[in-house]
Amino acid sequence: MSRVIPGLTAPATTDLPVLLAAPKPKHVPETLRFSHWLGNIPIWVPLAIFMILLVWPVYGFGQETSEGPITPIQALVRWMPFLLTQGFVFTILISIMTMVVGTVLGVLLGLGQISLLRPVRIASYWITQIFRNSPWLVLLIIVMLSFPFQITIFGVLIPIPDWTKAVFGLSLPIMANISEIVRGAIASVPSAQWEASESLAFSRRQTLLQITLPHCIKRMIPPWMNWYAILTMATPIVSILGVEEVLNLTRQAIEAENNRPELLVPFYGFVLLIFFIYCYPIARLTLWLERRYALKL
């Protein structure tokens, strides 16, 4: 027989206030909203949409050649290795290099925002706000037009490829957002830790490197991964500037197939699918890390 608990399993016998359990937080941090949205999508949804988009043009279009009918699926299968190895892999490399550069610069900029030197703190704050609130495409265009196409060092002509400009251009907004992550994580550390380190004669540098930052790493990993997923989704915008990545190569593949309109949905649907397959596990891992490192009440 279960135990009767007044106010819980039976009517209350007193009008005294009862302490309720702490409610679960419903607020989703702004930097994790993308991962929450992506991670909560069932895996079968994009697969079903892709199959519908892939099958739809097969019955409506076809092209006769000397080798027989070439359907959109056959054309897609023929171009898949090229799009994956030459296009998507290069897109992922651009996103990884951008994240590395943006993370290194963002950590330095975030530390600059908490500097005791007022000029450094003010400069870091405004650099963060400017690049954090600027359109990514505008930054890319400015970098592309500002950087030279080649430089001469000791008489040696060194070309600067477009993808290096794309990496630097995309790293600017990533740098600014990582800076805010670092600043916010350091600010979230209880002041008692700073006071305890001061009582032990720790310098500010020792406190940051040995006490504060190790505590912040766990808090910074989920939003950092979320921004990497966002960056990967945004990387195809570099195709507008002529960088040979998956979206640009997809357009070239369609042109090589005589710009048949029935190829648009399967080819671009395939690009959508491979991006989802790559980013969905990242979003799920981000949610798992968020739950694992969440503050226990």
Residue 61 included in any domain = no
Q: Is 36 exposed, middle or buried (0-12, 13-18, 19+ CB in 10 A)?
A: middle
Higher pLDDT, 76 or 174: 174
> If you average pLDDT over every residue of the chain, what do you get?
78
Q: What is the CATH number of the domain that holds 85?
A: 1.10.3720.10
Mean pLDDT of 260-288: 85
What is the structure's pLDDT at 171? 93
What is the structure's pLDDT at 67? 46
Determine the Cα–Cα distance for residues 223 and 218; give it in Å rounded to an integer: 10
* H or E segment and range at residue 70: strand 68-70
Mean pLDDT of 20-32: 51
What is the structure's pLDDT at 43? 64
Mean pLDDT of 46-59: 57
Q: Which of 57-61, 142-146, 187-191, 252-256 has the lowest mean pLDDT?
A: 57-61
What is the structure's pLDDT at 258? 85
Residue 285 has pLDDT above 90, yes or no: no
What is the structure's pLDDT at 173? 93
Compute the chain's Rg from CA coordinates: 26
**Confidence band of 151 (pLDDT split at 50, 70, 90):** confident
Residue 108 included in any domain = yes
pLDDT tens readout for residues 92-126: 999 999 999 999 999 999 999 988 889 999 999 99
Q: Into how many domains does the chain fold?
A: 1
Residue 83 included in any domain = yes
Residue 199 has pLDDT above 70, yes or no: yes
pLDDT tens readout for residues 58-84: 444 444 444 445 788 888 888 888 888
Domain that holds residue 183: 69-148+159-292
Determine the Cα–Cα distance for residues 136 and 229; give it in Å rounded to an integer: 15
Residue 36 included in any domain = no
Determine the Cα–Cα distance for residues 1 and 158; give it in Å rounded to an integer: 83
Most confident segment among 63-72, 128-137, 233-242? 128-137
**pTM score of the predicted model:** 0.72
> What tokens were used for 122?
């003010």
Number of alpha carbons in the 13 Å side-chain half-sphere of residue 296: 2
Mean pLDDT of 143-164: 81
Higher pLDDT, 271 or 25: 271
Residue 21 included in any domain = no
Residue 223 included in any domain = yes
Residue 59 included in any domain = no
Residue 38 included in any domain = no
CB 253, CB 2: distance < 8 Å: no
Mean pLDDT of 253-267: 86
CB 225, CB 289: distance < 8 Å: yes
**Confidence band of 5 (pLDDT split at 50, 70, 90):** low
**Confidence band of 147 (pLDDT split at 50, 70, 90):** confident
The full DSSP string for 207-272 is HIIIIIHHHHHHHHHHHHHHHHHHHHHHGGGGGGGT--SHHHHHHHHHHHTTT-GGGHHHHHHHHH
Mean pLDDT of 181-206: 81
pLDDT tens readout for residues 219-232: 888 888 888 888 98
